């Protein structure tokens, strides 16, 4: 039987709030407004996942599906330096792919099964999960079709997380669209995109927001084993930190 592993976020406070970090064999969703650090967290974890277990890692490779074109190898290299690992090696251990539409997003996920079958991978990043669904399916008329296709994608991701012992880290946007917000009850007035389908697929949900000054705040809004609580973190050259 596969054993569940936790991967550190880069922030000790946030790790403590999460009982040690994000767990493999589950979908972890991080949502919040722009510039809260979702992509920075994805970059940070893409390095930490490669580290030894004593350092909060999983000694694994990383798959990274980028839907917004915000992946930066230079950031991976800077974060690698913080943890004392070879920057080029850190980049080589990340299988990167850019998705341009939802069909490609699904194809890329399916294609990664071959990578995951090597049992070398411990983290799958999808940054962000909903952005292409929101541009490919516009308006209420297409919402039910969108949710159906999204559900298939999420079932596949869940299955892969369990079969291949992966942390699936999905970032998500908050909705500003008033029509949609009436449809999906929100959390603290900030509603993640994706509705009930995504809410049910996510094992752990984290809401990120700006705090005082440089500070950012993460709130655990849904977790199988953590109470609802907050932790602060900052974004540095070396990635997410305390
Ligand atoms: P999101 O994906 O939630 O929209 P990002 O993860 O892109 O947000 O985070 C953007 C924030 O990260 C910005 O406030 C930016 O100043 C900060 N940031 C990006 N790179 C660095 C860096 N090298 N050092 C410190 N902060 C950085
Ligand atoms: Mg981003």
**Closest C-alpha to 192, from 59, 20, 33, 16:** 33
Which residue would you say has higher pLDDT here, 124 or 181?
Answer: 124
Task: Tell me if 173 CB under 6 Å of ligand 1.
Answer: no
Q: What's the whole-number average pLDDT of the chain?
A: 94
pLDDT tier at 139 (50, 70, 90 boundaries)? confident
Nearest-CA residue for ligand 1 atom 17 is 235
Task: Tell me if 235 CB under 6 Å of ligand 1.
Answer: yes
Q: Is the pLDDT of residue 207 over 50?
A: yes
Task: Tell me if 37 CB under 6 Å of ligand 1.
Answer: yes
**ipTM of the complex in this document:** 0.99
Query: 38 C-alpha vs ligand 1 centroid, how far in Å?
Result: 8
Residue 108 CB contacts under 8 Å (≥ 6 apart), including other chains: 65, 97, 99
Query: 43 C-alpha vs ligand 2 centroid, how far in Å?
Result: 10
Give pLDDT, residue 117.
Answer: 98
Contact criterion met (CB below 8 Å) for 172 and 127: no
pLDDT digits (tens, 9 = 90+) for 82-118: 999 999 999 999 999 999 999 999 999 999 999 999 9
> What's the average model confidence in pLDDT over 175-185?
57
> What's the average model confidence in pLDDT over 24-52?
98
Measured from the alpha carbon of residue 206, the closest ligand is 1
Cα angle vertex 29, ends 28, 30, to 5°? 125
Q: pTM of whole model > 0.90?
A: yes
Q: Is the pLDDT of residue 189 over 90?
A: no
Measured from the Cα of 78, ligand 1's closest atom is: 23
Query: 136 C-alpha vs ligand 1 centroid, how far in Å?
Result: 27
Strand partners, 216: 210, 233
Measured from the alpha carbon of residue 210, the closest ligand is 1
Q: Is the pLDDT of residue 186 over 70?
A: no
> What's the average model confidence in pLDDT over 161-170?
98
Give pLDDT, residue 187.
Answer: 44
> What's the average model confidence in pLDDT over 53-71?
98
Give pLDDT, residue 90.
Answer: 98
Measured from the alpha carbon of residue 74, the closest ligand is 1
Establish how many alpha carbons lie within 13 A of residue 86's alpha carbon, considering only the half-sphere containing its beta carbon: 4
């Amino acid at each position: 039987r596969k054993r569940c592993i936790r991967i550190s976020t880069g922030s000790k406070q946030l790790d403590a709030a999460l009982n040690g970090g994000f767990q493999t064999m589950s979908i972890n969703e991080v949502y919040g407004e722009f510039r809260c650090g979702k992509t920075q967290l994805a970059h940070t974890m893409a390095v930490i996942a490669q580290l030894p277990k004593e350092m909060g890692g999983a000694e694994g490779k990383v798959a990274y599906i980028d839907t917004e074109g915000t992946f930066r190898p230079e950031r991976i290299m800077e974060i690698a330096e913080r943890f004392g690992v070879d920057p080029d090696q850190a980049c080589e251990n990340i299988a990167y792919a850019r998705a341009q539409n939802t069909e490609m997003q699904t194809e890329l996920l399916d294609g990664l099964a071959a990578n995951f079958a090597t049992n070398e991978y411990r983290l799958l990043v999808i940054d962000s999960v909903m952005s292409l669904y929101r541009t490919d399916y516009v308006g209420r008329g297409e919402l039910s079709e969108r949710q159906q296709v999204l559900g298939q994608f999420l079932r596949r991701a869940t299955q892969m997380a369990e079969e291949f012992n992966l942390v699936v880290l999905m970032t998500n946007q908050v909705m500003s669209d008033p029509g949609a917000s009436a449809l999906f009850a929100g959390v603290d007035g900030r509603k993640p995109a994706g509705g009930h389908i995504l809410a049910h697929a996510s094992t752990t949900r984290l809401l990120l927001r700006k705090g005082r000054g440089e500070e950012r705040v993460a709130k655990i809004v849904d977790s199988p084993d953590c109470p609802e609580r907050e932790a602060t973190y900052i974004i540095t050259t070396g990635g997410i930190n305390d």
